Structures are given as C-alpha cells and as structure tokens.
Amino acid sequence: MTPTAPSIHINGSCSIDGLPLFGPLEMTLNAGQWTCVLGRSGVGKSTLLRLTAGLECGGVFQGTIAASDHHSVNNRVSFMAQMDLLLPWLTVIENTVLGARLRGKQPDFPRAKNLLESVGLANHLKKKPRELSGGMRQRNALARTLMEDRPIVLLDEPFSALDASSRAEMQELAAEVLVGKTVLLVTHDPTEAVRLGHQIIVLGRTSVQKWPAPANPPVRNSFAPDTITCQSDLLSVLRGLK
C-alpha cells in the first residue's frame, strides 16, 4: 500500500560560511499536492529542497522541517535532480532498481518493468544510458524516482534540459503518476509552475510570497487566458518589474 502523504512545514533560516542565504521564512507544502517554488538565482531554492531531503547542502540551517503526521521526513523522500544521474555502467532496468540494491534489498523487477512501460521505455530495458536520448534518460530517472514509491517527492528542475515538446510530455507524465504525493518542484520556469502547481511560491532571501494559481486544477492548458496572465505576472515579479 502506498503511504499516505503528509503536509510538510518549513520554518527557519539558512546561512553559508556565516553569510545569510535565506530566511527567516515559513512555508507549508500541502499534503498530496504540488508546490512549485520559483525565485531569482541564488536565493536558496535548491538548498531548501536539499534540506527537506535531509541531504548535505553546504550550509547551516536553523529551524524545523516537520511532517503533519509527526513522523520523520527524511526517510520518506524520493529525489529527482536536474541531471538524470544514471550510472553509465548499468542498464535502464538496473538504474531503475538502484535504490533497492543500495539498501541491500532484493529488487522488484516485475514492478520496475511495469514502471518502465508506463514511461515508454519497455523496449529499452537492457540499454545503457549512452544509448538513450536525453528525454529517454529523464524518463529512466523518473521511473527510478517512482520505484521508491515515497509519499514525499522532491524535484529540482528535472525537465529544464529537455526541448519544449519533451518537457510538456514529461510534466504531464509526472503529474499523472505522482497523484496523491506531496511534491516540491523547484523551477525557474513560470510556465511550468503555473501549469503544474496547486500552490505557487515565490522565494526571496527574506520572504515567501504565495502566488495565486489559476482556479482550474493542474495540469493546466498553457494557452488558456488565465494561465497566460498568471505566467506573465509571475515573470514580471521575477524580473523585478512589479
């Protein structure tokens, strides 16, 4: 059974080498929804994501990151980075079950094959990363993330290296297969945030601005008038024009 996804409350500040990076800030990732975080480069978006994952971030965090059900966050997280991070000497299916192997557990190959079929890689199970296109590599990385079946999913610009068509396809696929998960997506792309976010947050060094998302639910039509207006206003804010 898939674990129930909690909400995540983040409250605190982070510094690197004694210099403030962000905070004090307070924000909540709503249970079972996508929270999309945008902000100018250098405000600590990826650091915030790594802190939530319990990963080394090179800084000092003073505050709390807590789940609504009072259980630990760290051991219930799956993480997908901007780079696919596939191991070049492993095949597609071996990369997909890597987590289980690293934990010393028997991989569930039938489930891995089903996931790879769902992301369109059923005919490429024995290929190495060098034999795959960029989009196929990202599909493999997504399958590996899904294989963990964690209630909390953290995505650090996972689709930014893809062409526009592949990016839209991967966004739709991720939204479909991550239904019910608590998802934090860090992105520089207002279009992506408006398309996918139940909640949109603009992060500054000392501020968190909750941006009103269009009323209709994700995945939104990128060409709908309210979507375009929201994207345009977000871009203006990020450029410092508003």
Q: 3-class secondary structure for 99-156? A: HHHHCCCCCCHHHHHHHHHHCCCHHHCCCCHHHCCHHHHHHHHHHHHHHHCCCEEEEE
Q: For the chain, give the mean pLDDT.
A: 90
Percent of the chain with pLDDT over 70: 98
Of 40 and 97, the one with more pLDDT: 97
Average confidence (pLDDT) over 44-66: 90
Average confidence (pLDDT) over 164-192: 90
pLDDT of 196 higher than 70: yes
Written as six digits, the tokens of 223 are: 């060409």
Q: What is the pLDDT of residues 77-93, one digit of tens each?
A: 999 988 889 999 999 99
CA gap 139, 85 in Å, rounded = 12
Of 230 and 207, the one with more pLDDT: 230
Note if the pTM is more than 0.75. Answer: yes
pLDDT of 1 higher than 50: no
Domains of the chain: 8-238 (3.40.50.300)
Is 127 buried (19+), middle (13-18) or exposed (0-12) by CB count in 10 A? middle
CA gap 130, 192 in Å, rounded = 28
pLDDT band at 242 (very low <50, low <70, confident <90, very high): very low
pLDDT band at 241 (very low <50, low <70, confident <90, very high): very low
